[in-house]
A = this chain, B = another copy of it.
Amino acid sequence: MRRWNGWGDESTVVELPANGARFLAERIGAGQALADAGLEQVLARVPASRLAPHPLISLDAETRVRHARGQSLPDWLAMREGEFGQFPDGVAFPETQEEVRQLMALAAERDWVLIPYGGGTSVAGHINPQASGRPVLTLSLERMNRLLELDEESQVAVFGPGANGPQVESQLRARGYTLGHFPQSWELSTLGGWVASRSSGQQSLRYGRIEQLFAGGTLETFAGPMALPTFPASAAGPDLRELVLGSEGRFGVISEVRVRVTPLARQEAFYAVFLPNWAQALQGIRSLVQARLPLSMLRLSNAIETETQLALAGHPGQIALLEKYLALRGAGAGKCMLTFGVTGSPALNAASLKQARRLLKGFGGVFTGTLLGRKWAENRFRFPYLRHALWEAGYVVDTLETATDWANVGHLLDKVEASLRDGLAAQGERVHVFTHLSHVYGEGSSLYTTYVYRPGGSYAEALARWRTLKTAASEVIAHNRGTISHQHGVGRDHAPWLPVEKGPLGMATLRTLARHFDPDGRLVPGVLLED
């Protein structure tokens, strides 16, 4: 059963290693656990629905609870405390495009607000109902999860928008294909959600971001359906797919997704290399991507993340040996771990591996083979579960991300980390902060920063601390040439900073489009655009 107040299935538990709590206690002080609410307690607070019964709509209280919040840190705190605030008045589970249209017609006729819902994994407040005079219907697409068509010659697959990562991959794998889109939320997030929020997967270096994978489909809007035909490329005017990508539900409901797929690779491997320091590591990873080596994954942890990962890896004895080996070869204190992958034909993989090793050696890289790479691959979707373990140990963990041009990566990283590290200094609190680059491009890189802090004595305090930190980092990002989101979208949490990036005319353009597709402002008001 999926957790109602956290990440993933109840049967999956990721433990904090024995030395993990000690490692954090040394850095930011002893943990401060807060008491959680029970589901019964929350159910008792769900108000009566404002919707009349309808065969396509569930008014069940638990269903409403389970669709009220995403996975942002404020969502987490609200769920843990049992203070949800708002609930949808009902949740619909359409099974066809026709049912989606029926429900939208009903919403127009009866003046409802609609929230399109994929996997409920938003970390930016996309799917949370707001207080409204209008009833709120959440439109879960989870039953529209089938592979509907596969054109093997063109390598294009047609899916229902509600297919989640495992559903996408298992249906393709049975035919010998993969989408190759693996965001950390992969176990729960959906194809439609990826498109709506411009998601990027861990192997985007090979397969591309969802922008490159999304070949077409259908958007149901209040101004009618918009069909996006598939073409390999087109010069016939602005690309309307690009309006659906990142529309975050504001323009319509994605009811069908056509994606570019790839035959399963014959060979795949991940390797770890340690660089002696951040300056050399940064040059090394930039050189790799700018040399256009056909790698499938690149990730670089800064020194604190490397240290933290090794400390939390368990097996302290083995890690100590590894560190001794690395230090002997020049990667001692301050070392940074770089992981890279090759995916494809053995011959090209071998050529790429050779080039990558040679290039990294020039920056002092110490190659350690596939062991840590394999670990990374095994644990690639487990990080979100760690929030549970840290929470129980009395710590709050959140992440934030941006992307910027290479010339600005070092500067922005320093500023973002400092804004978080020192963000609670006025309260005498320390924050443990570390960063990796996980999506790299010729032009620049994403920056993915994790921060761990203590909740203080109450939920209110925990949320206030989060707001202080999130605001400080977002200000730094927006005013230092970073995008307010590289892979998670804008939602409500990032909306205040979007105008810095899009400018006044850009914002007016998005508002014009929202009015065009949704004249009555029925779709997720407040998301993407604050008004």
Contact = CB atoms under 8 A, between A and B. Distances in A.
B229 A481 contact: yes
Contact of A503 (B155, B156, B227, B244): B227
Contacts of A345: 291, 355
Contacts of A513: 238, 509, 512-513
A501 B248 contact: no
A151 interface: yes
Interface stretch (A371-379, A425-433, A486-494): A486-494
Contacts of A260: 442-443
Interface stretch (A100-108, A168-176, A194-202, A463-471): A194-202
Contact of A232 (B263, B443, B505, B510): B443
A512 B516 CA distance: 7
A435 interface: no
Interface string A228-240: 1111111111111
Nearest to A204: B233
Given A223-B505, A503-B227, A512-B512, A234 B443 contact: no
Interface stretch (A63-71, A306-314, A402-410): A402-410
B226 A235 contact: no
B502 A236 contact: yes
Interface string A343-380: 01101100100110000000000000000000000000
Interface in A290-304: 290-294
A230 B155 contact: no
A316 interface: no
A516 B512 CA distance: 7
A444 interface: yes
A344 to B, nearest CB: 7
Given A442-B262, A443-B155, A443-B156, A246 B240 contact: no
A223 B512 CA distance: 12
Nearest to A197: B235
Contacts of A199: 235
Interface string A259-285: 010110000000000000000000000
Interface residues of A, number: 95
A128 B221 CA distance: 36
A344 B292 CA distance: 9
Given A292-B344, A348-B355, A156 B405 contact: yes
A516 B510 contact: no
A23 B446 CA distance: 57
Contacts of A441: 232-233
Given A246-B238, A405-B154, A232 B445 contact: yes
Contacts of A226: 503, 505-506, 509
A387 interface: no
This chain: how many copies in the complex? 2
B446 A505 contact: no
Contacts of A347: 351, 354-355
A386 interface: no
B154 A443 contact: yes
Contacts of A489: 235-237
B355 A234 contact: no
A207 B98 CA distance: 42
A189 interface: no
B154 A406 contact: yes
Contact of A224 (B232, B488, B501, B505): B505
Nearest to A209: B233
B239 A245 contact: yes
A419 interface: no
Centre residue among A198, A200, A482 by max chain B CB count within 10 A: A198
Contacts of A516: 508-509, 512
Given A154-B443, A260-B443, A237 B200 contact: no
A246 B262 CA distance: 28
B442 A155 contact: yes
A231 B291 contact: no
B509 A236 contact: no
5 nearest A-B residue pairs (beta carbon): A242-B242, A232-B444, A198-B235, A154-B405, A232-B441
